[in-house]
Amino acid sequence: AEEVGGGDKEVVREYFNSTGFERWRKIYGETDEVNRVQKDIRLGHAKTVENTMLMLTEDRSLAGVTVCDAGCGTGLLSIPLAKEGAIVSASDISAAMVAEAEMKAKAQLPSENLPKFEVNDLESLTGKYDTVVCLDVLIHYPQNKADGMIAHLASLAEKRVILSFAPKTFYYDILKRIGELFPGPSKATRAYLHSEADVERALGKVGWKISKRGLTTTQFYFSRLIEAVPM
Ligand code: SAM
């Protein structure tokens, strides 16, 4: 049934508005209603967010800097960005995710610092931002779609692009361990891993080069973090 309507993107949208929303809302939340695997992923992801904030703030202040958080999920990055004074545009393909993110942001931020939230798939995003960030979204893109996705994100950025993705080096581990946390009838086939060289090549084709790298691995979470700047 999930295949009706066709296309990976529809499957992903449907998943993150239903069962995927419930699962990931818990993983990205604070409550104890998570199992051991989910808790481990929560911790790993928190490190990715922390490392992203470090990359973004180590050379300069974020005050007044425009940041696009593409595929913002429950707002775990958008909120700290806004706390640092960034002007945040946060979007996600899932309306449920955007609603959750907006609710969380309103509880933590003064109204003048609130990110601008929008339900949108990242290919439809327009505009120019100082920085574009897209964390843990590439896992939903097969390699033949990843290049276009990366090129589009880079086209929206003036100074920096930050991406995180599950690296292919951990292929076996990831699919075996967390395949069930991804959409589609055959869950494992719906999680796409990417080689760093492929991501680097995709960025290079549109004139961007990698300037910083990080890696977070826990037992069940593997994420390569890269910052790219214009060549
Ligand atoms: N970036 C957030 C974070 O790190 O906290 C959320 C990561 S979550 C694993 C993946 C998110 O990507 C989901 O909220 C999902 O709805 C969103 N997503 C997947 N495909 C998308 C697309 N084509 N455009 C926008 N968002 C997308």
CATH number of the domain to which 113 belongs: 3.40.50.150
The verdict on residue 148 lying in a domain is yes
- Its domain, for residue 69, covers 8-120+127-230
The verdict on residue 19 lying in a domain is yes
DSSP H stretches of helix in the chain: 8-17, 19-27, 36-57, 78-83, 95-108, 143-156, 171-178, 196-205
* Ligand 1 within 6 A of CB of 93: yes
Q: How far away, in angstroms, is 57 Cα from ligand 1 center? A: 23
pLDDT at 225: 98
The verdict on residue 2 lying in a domain is no
Residues 164, 223 contacting (CB under 8 angstroms): yes
Into how many domains does the chain fold? 1
Q: How far away, in angstroms, is 92 Cα from ligand 1 center? A: 6
The verdict on residue 3 lying in a domain is no
* Ligand 1 within 6 A of CB of 122: yes
What's the distance, CA 128 to chain centroid? 18
Residues 191, 15 contacting (CB under 8 angstroms): no
The closest residue, in CA terms, to atom 22 on ligand 1 is 121
pLDDT at 143: 86
Helix (H, G, I), strand (E, B) or coil at 76: coil
- Return per-residue pLDDT of the chain as tens, 231 residues: 333 344 688 889 999 999 999 999 999 999 999 999 999 999 999 999 999 999 999 999 999 999 999 999 999 999 999 999 999 999 999 999 999 999 999 999 999 999 999 999 999 999 999 999 999 999 999 888 999 999 999 999 999 999 999 998 876 667 767 666 777 665 544 788 899 999 999 999 999 999 999 999 999 899 999 999 999
Q: How far away, in angstroms, is 60 Cα from ligand 1 center? A: 27
The closest residue, in CA terms, to atom 13 on ligand 1 is 73
Taking the C-alpha atoms of residue 2 and residue 189, their distance in angstroms, rounded to an integer, is 14
The verdict on residue 135 lying in a domain is yes
pLDDT at 168: 87
Q: How far away, in angstroms, is 72 Cα from ligand 1 center? A: 6
Taking the C-alpha atoms of residue 218 and residue 189, their distance in angstroms, rounded to an integer, is 22
* Ligand 1 within 6 A of CB of 125: no
Helix (H, G, I), strand (E, B) or coil at 109: coil
pLDDT at 73: 98
The closest residue, in CA terms, to atom 6 on ligand 1 is 73
The closest residue, in CA terms, to atom 4 on ligand 1 is 135
What is the number of the ligand 1 atom nearest to the C-alpha of 77? 5
pLDDT at 181: 75
